[in-house]
Amino acid sequence: MTATSFTPNIAEIDPEQLPIPEHKLHGWTHFAGLYAGEHVAATEFVIGATFVALGATTMDILVGLLIGNVLAILSWTLITTPIAVQTRLSLYTYLHKIAGDSMSDLYNAANVLIFTVISAAMITVSCTAVRLLFDIPAQLEWYPTSSLFVLVVLGVGMIVVLVAMYGFNAVAEFSGLCGPWLIVMFISGALALFPALADAVIGQTQLTGFADFIAIGDQSIWTGVNSAGDPGIGLLEVIGFAWAANTITHFGLIDMALLRYARKTVYGLCTSAGMLFGHYIAWIAAGIMGAGTAVLLKSTIVELDPGDVAYRALGLSGYVIVIVAGWTTANANLYRAGLAAQAIFHRHSRKKVTFAVGVATVAIACFPFVYKQILPLLTYAGLIVVPVGGIVFAEHVIFPRIGLTRYWSKYRELRSGRGDKSPAEGLASSSTKVGFADKLATANKAAIASWAIGLVFGFGLNYLQVMSFFYLFLPTWAFTIALYTFLASRSGAAESYPAEESAEQKLNVAIREFQSEQAIAQGEPVHDKSVFSKILHTVGWIALAVTLIQALIVMFGSGDMAAYERNVGVFYTWGFVCTIVYFGSSYWALQRTKKLNRIQT
C-alpha cells in the first residue's frame, strides 16, 4: 500500500489526533509570552502568603525559590519538551496511542477532579475582591460564613461556566495580554507597600542597603516561625515546593499540549518567563504585599485574603488583578475539565458536560478552604498524574534504548485481529468510544497496573512520612518507570512487530504529505504591521512603564510617611488609569490583527 492511499482517511481524522504540522509551529517569543501569562495568576497571592504563614526565612525564600524554579525549568526542558517536539502530540493523544481507551478514560477522570478543584479555588479567589465591593467580611473558616458571599460565588462562578462553555477562545486571547501587566502589577504592589512596612519595622521608609531588606524580611515577613508560633519550614521544603508546584505539567507531561508547537527543544527554557518572573518574583512580591497589608491593617497574614492584600497594595487596580487573574485561570482549567469529562461522557456535547462540571465547580468554590489549601492540593494533584508521566517517559525514551517496542500494546491489538483496520482508520476510530468489554479486552493492563501501584507507592510513602511530601513525585516517578518497563516487557513489549511498524511509518509519511498540502492551501498567517496597530502596542507598553515608574517613586522617593502617603495616592490613581489604557489599547490591537486575518482568509 502506498503512502498516498492513506490520504483520504487522514482527511477524516480529527486534527487533534494528528501530529502538529510544520506550518503551525511557533518561535520562542510565543512560549515566553504564553508561560509569563499562565504562571502569573491569582494563585500567586495565595502561595506567596502561604510561605509567610509556613514560617520560611528570608534567605530560604530568596535562595530556595530560585533553586526550585530552576529545577522546574530544567524539568520542562529535559523531560517534557523533547517528548512533545519528537511526537508533536498532546499527552492525551499520545497516552491513547500507548495505552488505549481504558487508561485514557481513567486519566481523564483524574483530570476532571484536578482541574475542577483548581477552577473552584480560582473562582473563590476572584470573589475575595468582589466581596469588598459589597462589604462582605473575610471568609476565614473552611466553610462560608456569609450567605451574601455564597451569592457572589454563584454569580461570579456561573459567569466563568458560561464563558468556558461558549466564549473560551476570546478569554484565552485576552489572557495572553495579561502576562506583562500582571508581572508589572505584582512588582509595583510590592514596591508600593514596602516603605510602610519598613517604617513599621526599622523606623524609616527608605532602605540604606540590602541588609535592611533582610532585616525587614526576617522580622516581619519570612520570620522562620509559622502562624502557630512554631519553627517553620526550611530551605529543602521551599526548594521542593517550587519544583513540585508544576509537576502536573512537567513530570506529568500535561504541557506536551503546549510544547508540541515548539520549533526546537531548547524552547523549553522559555518556561523561565513563568518560573522566574511569575513564580520567583511574584511569590516574593505577594509575601511582601501580604505582610505589608497585615502591618497596615494591624492584622495577621492568615486573617487576610487576596482581595484585602491586592486592594491595599494597588488600590482599584487590586480589584482588577484579583478578578482577572482568578477569572482567566479558572476559565482555562474549567475548559480543560470539560474536555476531559466530555471524553468520558462522549454521547453528550462538550457544552452540556462543561455546564455539569461547572455546577459542581461553583458548589466547591463556596468553601474557602479550597483556595487556602492550594499548596498541598497542587502537590497531591501532581502526585496523581506523575505516574502517568513516568509510563509515557518509559515507553518513549527508555524502551527504544533497551530493545523494547514502542506502541507495543497498539501493535499487539492489531495483530490479534481486533485491529484489522488500516493505520489511518485506527487513528480515526481512536476517538470513537466502544463498549466496556472491548475496552477491557484491548487495555494496556501493564499501564493501568503501573499507575495504580504507583499511586499506592507514592501515597504510601506520604502516609509513612518517609520524606517531605514536596519530593514524593521523584521516587513515585522513578518507581513507576521501573515497574511499567518490567510489566510491559512481560506483556508483549519485548516482541517485534515489523509489519505493524512498517504500516506506522507509512502512515507518518502520508500524514506529513497531507499536512504539506494543507500548508500550501491555507497560506501563511497575516501579521498586522500597520502604523496604527504599532501605536496601540506602544501606548500599552508606555502605560506599563508609567505604572512601574510611579511604584519606583513610591519606593525610593518617600523620605517619610507623609511623602509616602502622597506618592502612594498618586500611584493608586495613575495605576488604575494605566490599567484601563493598557487593556484598551492592547485588546484593540488584538482585534485588528484578528480582523485582518479574517479578511485574508
**In terms of pLDDT, which residue wins out, 162 or 405?**
405
* Structural contact between residues 447 and 484, judged by C-beta atoms closer than 8 angstroms: yes
The radius of gyration of the chain from alpha carbons, rounded to an integer in Å, stands at 25
**In terms of pLDDT, which residue wins out, 512 or 401?**
401
Residue 2 has pLDDT above 50, yes or no: no
For residue 345, what pLDDT is reported? 78
Q: How far, in Å, CA of 478 to CA of 467, rounded? A: 15
Using pLDDT thresholds of 50, 70 and 90, give the confidence band for residue 532. confident
**Mean pLDDT (the chain, rounded):** 82
For residue 420, what pLDDT is reported? 44
DSSP annotation string for 271-295? GHIIIIIIIIIHHHHHHHHHHHHHH
Q: How far, in Å, CA of 153 to CA of 548, rounded? A: 32
Neighbours of 100 (CB within 10 A): 24
Q: What is the average per-residue pLDDT within 457-475?
A: 90
For residue 522, what pLDDT is reported? 62
Nearest to 414 by CA among 498, 307, 477: 498
Using pLDDT thresholds of 50, 70 and 90, give the confidence band for residue 393. very high
Q: How far, in Å, CA of 377 to CA of 245, rounded? A: 9
For the stretch 292-342, pLDDT in tens is 888 777 777 666 777 778 888 888 888 788 777 777 777 777 877 887 787
For residue 441, what pLDDT is reported? 55
User: Where do we find the cell 491595599?
Assistant: 312
Q: How far, in Å, CA of 378 to CA of 386, rounded? A: 12
* Structural contact between residues 476 and 383, judged by C-beta atoms closer than 8 angstroms: yes
Using pLDDT thresholds of 50, 70 and 90, give the confidence band for residue 1. very low
Residue 68 has pLDDT above 90, yes or no: yes
For the stretch 226-250, pLDDT in tens is 877 888 889 999 999 899 888 988 9
Angle made by CA atoms 371, 184, 162, in degrees to the nearest 5: 45
Neighbours of 590 (CB within 10 A): 19
Residue 231, classed as helix, strand or coil, is strand
Residue 123 has pLDDT above 50, yes or no: yes
Q: How far, in Å, CA of 17 to CA of 425, rounded? A: 12
DSSP annotation string for 62-77? IIIHHHHHHHHHHHII
Which are the contacts of 92, defined by CB distance < 8 A and separation ≥ 6?
Answer: 104, 107, 108, 257, 343
Residue 5, classed as helix, strand or coil, is helix
Direct distance between the N- and C-terminal alpha carbons of the chain, in angstroms, rounded to an integer? 36
Q: How far, in Å, CA of 207 to CA of 308, rounded? A: 26
Half-sphere exposure of 400 (CA within 13 A, CB side): 6
For residue 367, what pLDDT is reported? 86
- The continuous run of DSSP H or E covering 318 comes out as helix 316-344
Reduce the secondary structure of 535-599 to three states and give it as a string: HHHHHHHHHHHHHHHHHHHHHHCCCCHHHHHHHHHHHHHHHHHHHHHHHHHHHHHHHHHHHHHHH
**In terms of pLDDT, which residue wins out, 597 or 215?**
215
Q: By percentage, how much of the chain surpasses pLDDT 90?
A: 26
Amino acid sitting at position 454: G
Count the helix, strand and coil residues of the chain and give each as a percent rounded to the nearest 5: 80, 0, 20
Residue 88 has pLDDT above 60, yes or no: yes
For residue 44, what pLDDT is reported? 78
For the stretch 550-566, pLDDT in tens is 999 999 999 899 999 99
Using pLDDT thresholds of 50, 70 and 90, give the confidence band for residue 172. low
